[in-house]
């Protein structure tokens, strides 16, 4: 059973960089054909696909967030990390990590993912 767990600060000040880590257990992030994804859901809005890192280390970003987003991984710890720079209150959301395949790239359909973290609330406020 694959499990994903988001970790990171719940409160970030405007203009700072948000950093979240997704710790994966029960399966390797280097296993072929899987893509490890970050998504978020602002209050009262739908899911937004942010980016992903593939099993071989390639990265994919939402065009609207690409200039502020970086996703990396630490294969020795079996985890991957989201960094979102220059945050504003509009970045307040529940942030999720999830596992998908190539069909999940740029895809906000929950059915495209087989495992999810429980989500972590991040609030951007001074």
Q: Is residue 22 within 8 Å of 79, Cβ to Cβ?
A: yes
Percent of the chain with pLDDT over 90: 96
For 86-113, the pLDDT digits (tens) are 999 999 999 999 999 989 999 989 899 9
30-53 pLDDT, tens digit per residue, is 999 999 999 999 999 999 999 999
Please list, in sequence order, all residues whose beta carbon lies within 8 angstroms of the beta carbon of residue 125, skipping any fewer than 6 positions away.
11, 13, 14, 89, 92
Residue 51 near residue 59 (C-beta atoms within 8 A): yes
């Amino acid at each position: 059973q694959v499990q994903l767990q988001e970790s990171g600060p719940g409160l970030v000040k405007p203009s700072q960089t948000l950093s979240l880590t997704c710790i994966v257990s029960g399966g390797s992030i280097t296993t072929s054909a899987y893509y490890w994804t970050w998504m978020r859901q602002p209050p009262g809005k739908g899911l937004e696909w942010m980016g992903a890192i593939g099993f071989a280390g390639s990265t994919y970003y939402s065009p609207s967030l690409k200039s502020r987003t970086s996703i990396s991984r630490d294969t020795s710890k079996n985890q991957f990390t989201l960094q979102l720079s220059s945050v504003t209150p509009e970045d307040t959301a529940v942030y999720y990590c999830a596992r998908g395949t190539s069909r999940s790239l740029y895809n906000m359909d929950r059915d495209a993912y087989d495992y999810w973290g429980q989500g972590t609330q991040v609030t951007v406020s001074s």
